[in-house]
Amino acid sequence: MEKDLIEYIAKSLVDDPSAVSVRETEGERGPMLELRVAPGDIGKVIGKYGRIAKALRTVLAASASREGRRYGLDILD
């Protein structure tokens, strides 16, 4: 569910939605979502001063907490 949510939001933000991919992995602190976008769209996902990335992480935390889970979000280029 969280994977689909992040993918939906990211596709809404970028110019090339077909290049958006989200993969679930296991990190050092638990489950992680890895978000990949086209190189030209990385700034749109991170935002000025990282505000959009922070908002994505906040929405992810709120969604995951409903199920008692915790996720991390990595934005990869």
| CA–CA gap between residue 60 and residue 40 (Å, rounded) | 24
pLDDT of 17 strictly over 90: yes
pLDDT of 29 strictly over 90: no
Supply 41's token pair: 């769209």
Specify the pTM. Answer: 0.90
Residues 45 and 35: beta-carbon distance below 8 Å: yes
pLDDT value at position 39?
A: 94
pLDDT of 30 strictly over 90: no
pLDDT band at 28 (very low <50, low <70, confident <90, very high): confident
Residues 22 and 3: beta-carbon distance below 8 Å: yes
Count other C-beta atoms under 10 Å from residue 73's C-beta: 19
* Per-residue pLDDT tens over the stretch 31-41: 999 999 999 99
